[in-house]
Amino acid sequence: MDKMDKNIYYILDASAFIGGFELKDSLNFTISEISEEVKDLKSKMIFDQAIEDNILFIVEPDDLSINELNNVISYSGDTLRLSNVDKKLLALAIDFSNQGKKIKVVTDDYSIQNVLKIINIPYRSVLTEGIKGIYNWKKTCQGCRKEYPDNYDDEVCEICGSKIFKRRIKLD
């Protein structure tokens, strides 16, 4: 086996820097927006130093991977939970995966982890224990438990007037 085949490409979320993930060898990747999410001094220093040391590279995902991701999350119900930055990071993971690279995403974000589980891309968390199953979210009334579609914009229930929250449902 080629030595390169064994190398894992790490894709780093902002939480990797904030959580103090130790960057190994030279195959660490992220997207440009993460540099703006890494705000505190210590994490920013780790980030900038890694760029300078050529062990961290900023790359842009392919548009096709973004489309592929949008198909997945429209089904899983994660669309509402993911920021544009999250989506771009996931698209990059799909990109690398489609290129046959061995990857691991480093993130503490449950919504990102949930999507990675669905698309079968390995991940590890920095601070928190990773989630065990696959989850979906359902808008639900706190009072009468009526469930609403994702596009229901009101914050209160049309029947009982109670607050609506997003309930996490475990799928298997």
Binding site for Zn ion (CB under 5 A): 141, 143-144, 146, 157, 159-160, 162
Question: Shortest Cβ distance from residue 135 to Zn ion (Å)?
Answer: 22
Identify which of residues 64 and 160 has a Cβ nearer to Zn ion in the complex.
160
Nearest to 80 by CA among 163, 167, 160: 167
What is the rounded distance in angstroms from the CA atom of residue 15 to the CA atom of residue 34?
Answer: 9
Question: Shortest Cβ distance from residue 148 to Zn ion (Å)?
Answer: 9
Task: Spell 109-122 as b/e; 16+ CB within 10 A means b.
Answer: bbbbbbbbbbeebe
Question: Shortest Cβ distance from residue 144 to Zn ion (Å)?
Answer: 3
Identify which of residues 73 and 164 has a Cβ nearer to Zn ion in the complex.
164
Identify which of residues 155 and 172 has a Cβ nearer to Zn ion in the complex.
155
Task: Spell 38-67 as b/e; 16+ CB within 10 A means b.
Answer: beeeebeebbeebeeeeebeeeebeeebbe
Identify which of residues 48 and 147 has a Cβ nearer to Zn ion in the complex.
147
Question: Shortest Cβ distance from residue 140 to Zn ion (Å)?
Answer: 9
